[in-house]
Every structure is written in structure tokens, then in C-alpha cells.
Chain A
Amino acid sequence: MRPASHWQWRLVAAIAAKEWRDRLRNRWVLAVAVVFGAFALLIAYFGGAQSGVLGLRSAAVTVASLTSLAIYLVPLIALLLGFDAVVGERERGVLDLLLSQPITRAELLLGKYLGLAAALAMATLVGFGAALVPLAPSMDLTALAIYLRFVGSALMLGLAFLSLAVLVSTVARDRTRATGAAIALWFGFVLVFDLSLLGVLVATAGSHASTWAPYVLLLNPADVFRAINVFGADALRSSFGLGTLTAQGWNAAATLYGVLLAWIVAPLGAALWRFR
């Protein structure tokens, strides 16, 4: 017979199912899907308005615009989704009751993450997927692949920030602090990081930048996401001024996806360790 303390996926599933159902029921999934879908369509149709053009543009250009938007939006939504996963339960007083059940802390935390991740995945796939319906007829296979790559990497970006949010939630002493930490993370990764890097590049006049700057970008999941979607489109690299930031070797897609995956796994691992 297996020892009773063996890992039990059944319990992980029970916790995940509750989180998932909660997000469906309070229409979180629907609301986020609508936001994603609406933005995708708006950008596809009106993204060229500033250059005096209306209507659908090439998938590469659309995805480049969508990428810039998703970098702000997706981390924010993921952080808001996950920051009170643990600390919120503690503050409401439910955590003690959960922890008194025949479940390990790791099972509880992973269940919460997976349930929230499923909700985020559903919203991302449905939202950007729905936008594909009007867009698809004007897309060829290459364009479709570019778009799908965008959706997939946006999902990974969201999961990475959800992972960070859950870590914040296990560390923060109360909900207020968790909110502050989540907002700080968003500012840090989405705004401050790139500005600082740009500042350093300008200050050093970009000397030897190609030897270190690309690696620094890997320290930011948002930049990895950008790299996946922008570097992939050769034609856009120069127009985004990223030509000089392309180091040899690491812009291979596998490395970028690997790093993004690490950004999903590592904070979650730290959260599991912290919550023991």
C-alpha cells in the first residue's frame, strides 16, 4: 500500500477546480477574454490609423503592435489574478481551515496556481482566439503562425507573471502589502527595467552592448516575450531598433521559450518552498 503522505493529484484537482469555477462564475474569464479580443481587433483594424490607413494590415505588423500592448496588459492581469491567492485566504480566515484538511501545503498551492492558470489560459485563448475569426480570412499560413506564436507566448508571459504573483502572495504579510508588491513588480518589469537598460545603453553610447545587453534582457520575462514576437519577424527588427541587440545563438526560439518557461517554473518553485 502507498504511504498516506504520497502526493495526491486528486486533492490538487479539487483546489484547482474551485479556483477555476470561481473565476468562471464571477465572469473574470469572460471579462478578460473580451478585453483581449477587443484589443486584438482594434489594433488589427485601427492600428495603422496614425499613418493614415484603416483596415487590416499584415499579420507581422499587427502582432508587433499587439506585442507592445500585451506587454503592459498581460502581466497586469496575471498579477491581479494571483496576488491574493494565499494572503487573501489568510486574511479572510479560510486558510487555517484549508490547512487543517488532509492536504499538504504544496498540493494546496499548486492546486491554486493550476486553477488560476487555467482561468488565465481560457481567457487568453478565447479572447485572442475570437479575434482570429474576423482576421483569419485575410491571413496566409505564415501570418497565422505568427499570430498563434503571439497567442502562445502571451499565455506563457501571463503564466510567468501569475507565478510571480503567487510568490508575492506567499511572502506578503497582508493583502495591502501584496497589492503594493504586485504593482511594484509590474512597474519594475514593464516600465523601469527597459528604461534603465535604455539609460545605460545611452550613457555608455552602446559600446560593447551586444556582448551583454541581450543577456540582461533575459532577466525580464516581458522582454523575452517581446524578443520572441519581434525578433521572429526579421523585417521588424530594424524598425524596432533592436538590430544591435541580437546576439549570436540565443535568439534561437528554443532558448527564448526555455527562458520564459524558467520564468514560470522558478517563481512557482520559490513559492512552494516558501509556503512549506
Chain B
Amino acid sequence: MNAVVVEIKGVVKRYGATPVVDGIGFSCGEGEMVGLAGHNGAGKSTLFKMMLGIIAADAGDILLFGEPVRGRRFREVRRAIGYLPEHVALYDNLSGLETLRFFARLKSADPAGCKDLLERVGLAGAMHRAVREYSKGMRQRLGFAQALLGEPRLLLLDEPTNGLDPEAIHDFYDQLQQLKNAGTTILLSSHLLAEIQSRVDRLVIMASGKLVATGTVAALAAASGLPAGLALTPREGARERVKGALLAAGLVPLDAPDGTVHAIVAKPHRMTLLRVLAGLSGDLQEYTLTEPTLEDVFLHHQRGTTWVERAA
């Protein structure tokens, strides 16, 4: 495995008696792109702020590049990090270029690179305009350019596609991919699991401050083991034959109000299903198989317990 860039162990943050982050632990290797998914209020932003040392953890350890974030070498650590906060706010009275130059000074980055960065995020034409006149998406791009100052080796991006249109989101992930290929470690959060699940190497899923699941998308999907939903539209007079075939294959047919025949197909029955459908090809008008998304598995069914606990 590559060098460990992010190492989080048993991190806890409480506001009053309520834990906002409750025993989170995971790690990211060099050049890895990790998605941090969870609903709003799951504790993602708090975790980012603790990783940056903006707020202190009540318990646990956070090591970035092997150094504690609030340790003596915090300047070197922070210089190697690019951070894009959620709801990025910048100075309205400064132009895009002035904004970048200001942060470049703070980061000891070469101010000569600011124009190139603005070009990279598609703001070259607006660099002399006041940020006041920027759209939400332009601000987000400027925030991203800010995060790229000083060629960081670790990017912490909190809901980075907020306010971007679909095309811009596509471009954004293209850029992330290039950065990743160049060895940058990327940790990005989203409340839309569906948006990031196909784009990251690994997912860390949080709910109510706790770690719900972590792993590659494929592993999570396999581990989730949720059944798919089958809906069959029988031809005229074939309804009973269809239901009989399903029963014979060990599936329980249900008549749906719209006239279709439904069945729940658990993992072990997936392959059997193929044979059943092949045998019924003359009796069917239409069939659909609905796969559960990871979002269904991990985020939509939080009812006080985590998915891992329910599965146990």
C-alpha cells in the first residue's frame, strides 16, 4: 500500500453532551480519492475542521502525513493541505485574482501561479471582477482554485460540487482525477452518495457522527446484500403461468395494483432468475429489475441504528 496520508483514530467531538462526531476512524493512502458520504448533519464538516486543526477533537488522534495537525509542525502540514469549506465565503470587495493572491501570501505559494490557477478553473475572464459579482458556481470555482494554491498533496473538499451545474460537476471530477493521477490524496464529502459513488476509490459513510460503513463501492454493494425488486408484466392469460414459474423457482409472487407481478429477488436467487425469465419469454410483455442504490442501503434507512447494526 502507498504511504498513509490521513490517519484518523477514534475521533470524538461533542457539543454539550451531544456527540457530533462519535468515534470515527479511517485512513487514506497517497493518491487515493476517498468519498465521505452522509446526510447533512452527519458530522462531515466537523470532521474536516478537526482535520485542519480549526477545532480540537475531544478524543482520538488525527495524523496527517504522520504529524498531529495541531503539533509543532502545523505550518508544514497545513501548507500541504488544500481546503474548500462548505458554503465557501470569500471577500466580496476583492477581485478573483486579489483573493487568490491574498491566500497565496498566507500559504507562501508563488503568487505568479494565481493566474494559471484561475484559468484552470475557468475564471480567467472574470479574474479582475469583484467577487461580489460572481455567481454561486463561480465562487465555488474560486474556492477550489484557492484550495489548489501551493500544489497541496492533500485536498479536503467539503461538498465541493455545491452550486455547480452538471457540466461543471463533470469538469470538476475530471480535474480531481488528474490531480489524483499526479499523486494528490483527495478526501471529498457529499450528501449525495449517488454523485460520488462512481467517482471515488473508496467510500466512508457517516450517519449521526458514527461510521456506518467503509470500503470500495463494489465491496459495499456486495456486503449490503439487499435484494433487488422484480416486476413482470404478463401477457394476456399468462398471469398464472408466470406466478407458477416464480413459485417453482422459490420466489414469492405478489399481484401489484398496476397489474404487474412483483417479487423480491435475494442475492442467491439472482442466477436462478435468469433461467426463470428465459422460460417465460413467451408469456411476458415486459420486465424490470430494480437494484437498490447504496444511498438506499446506507442513508435512507437510518432509524436510530446504523446499517451495520441492523444487519448483525
Whether B83 and A100, one on each chain, are in contact in the complex, defined by CB atoms closer than 8 angstroms, is: yes
Q: Which of B54, B79, B89 contacts A94 (CB 8 A)?
A: B89
Contacts of A94 in B (CB 8 A): 89-91
Q: Which of A26, A96, A103 contacts B49 (CB 8 A)?
A: A96
Whether A4 and B75, one on each chain, are in contact in the complex, defined by CB atoms closer than 8 angstroms, is: yes
Whether A100 and B54, one on each chain, are in contact in the complex, defined by CB atoms closer than 8 angstroms, is: yes
Q: Say if the beta carbon of A136 comes within 8 Å of chain B.
A: no
Given A4-B72, A96-B54, the answer on whether A14 and B105 have CB atoms closer than 8 Å is yes
Q: How far, in whole Å, are A15 and B83 apart by their CA atoms in the complex?
A: 19
Q: Say if the beta carbon of A97 comes within 8 Å of chain B.
A: yes
Contacts of A103 in B (CB 8 A): 106
Q: Say if the beta carbon of B103 comes within 8 Å of chain A.
A: yes
> Which residues of chain A in 1-29 are interfacial with respect to chain B, using CB atoms and an 8 Å cutoff?
3-5, 10-11, 14-15, 18, 22, 25-26
Q: Say if the beta carbon of B85 comes within 8 Å of chain A.
A: yes
Contacts of A26 in B (CB 8 A): 93
> Which residues of chain B in 16-66 are interfacial with respect to chain A, using CB atoms and an 8 Å cutoff?
49, 52, 54
Q: Which of B73, B89, B90 contacts A5 (CB 8 A)?
A: B73
> Which residues of chain A in 74-116 are interfacial with respect to chain B, using CB atoms and an 8 Å cutoff?
92-94, 96-103
Q: How far, in whole Å, are A5 and B108 apart by their CA atoms in the complex?
A: 14
Q: Which of B72, B89, B106 contacts A14 (CB 8 A)?
A: B106
Chain B nearest CB, measured from A89 CB (Å):
9
Interface bin, chain B: 20 to 34
Given A5-B75, A94-B91, the answer on whether A99 and B107 have CB atoms closer than 8 Å is no
Contacts of B85 in A (CB 8 A): 93, 96-97, 100
Contacts of B284 in A (CB 8 A): none
Q: Which of B52, B76, B93, B108 contacts A100 (CB 8 A)?
A: B52
Q: How far, in whole Å, are A102 and B75 apart by their CA atoms in the complex?
A: 5
Q: Chain A binding site: helix, strand, loop or mixed by DSSP?
A: helix
Q: Which of B49, B72, B78, B93 contacts A101 (CB 8 A)?
A: B78
Given A14-B105, A14-B106, A25-B93, the answer on whether A97 and B146 have CB atoms closer than 8 Å is yes
Q: How far, in whole Å, are A98 and B76 apart by their CA atoms in the complex?
A: 16
Q: How far, in whole Å, are A101 and B80 apart by their CA atoms in the complex?
A: 10
Contacts of A101 in B (CB 8 A): 78, 103, 106-107
Query: In the complex, what residue of chain A is closest to B84 when comparing beta carbons?
Result: A97
Most central of A10, A22, A97 by chain B CB within 10 Å: A97
Q: Say if the beta carbon of B217 comes within 8 Å of chain A.
A: no
Q: Say if the beta carbon of B81 comes within 8 Å of chain A.
A: yes
Query: In the complex, what residue of chain B is closest to A97 when comparing beta carbons?
Result: B85
Contacts of B87 in A (CB 8 A): 93
Whether A4 and B83, one on each chain, are in contact in the complex, defined by CB atoms closer than 8 angstroms, is: no
Q: How far, in whole Å, are A149 and B106 apart by their CA atoms in the complex?
A: 38
Binary per-residue interface labels of chain A (122-146) against chain B in the complex, 1 for a CB within 8 Å, 0 otherwise: 0000000000000000000000000
> Which residues of chain B in 84-130 are interfacial with respect to chain A, using CB atoms and an 8 Å cutoff?
85, 87-91, 93, 102-103, 105-108
- Shortest 9 CB-CB distances between A and B: which pairs? A93-B89, A14-B105, A102-B75, A102-B78, A101-B106, A4-B75, A100-B52, A100-B83, A99-B54
A-B contact pairs, 6 of them (CB 8 A): A3-B72, A25-B93, A94-B90, A100-B78, A102-B79, A103-B106
Q: A3-B72, A101-B78 given. 19 additional CB < 8 A pairs?
A: A4-B74, A10-B105, A11-B106, A14-B102, A14-B105, A14-B106, A15-B106, A18-B102, A22-B93, A26-B93, A94-B89, A96-B54, A97-B83, A97-B89, A100-B52, A100-B81, A100-B83, A102-B78, A102-B107
Interface of B toward A, CB cutoff 8 Å: 49, 52, 54, 72-76, 78-79, 81, 83, 85, 87-91, 93, 102-103, 105-108, 146
Interface of A toward B, CB cutoff 8 Å: 3-5, 10-11, 14-15, 18, 22, 25-26, 92-94, 96-103
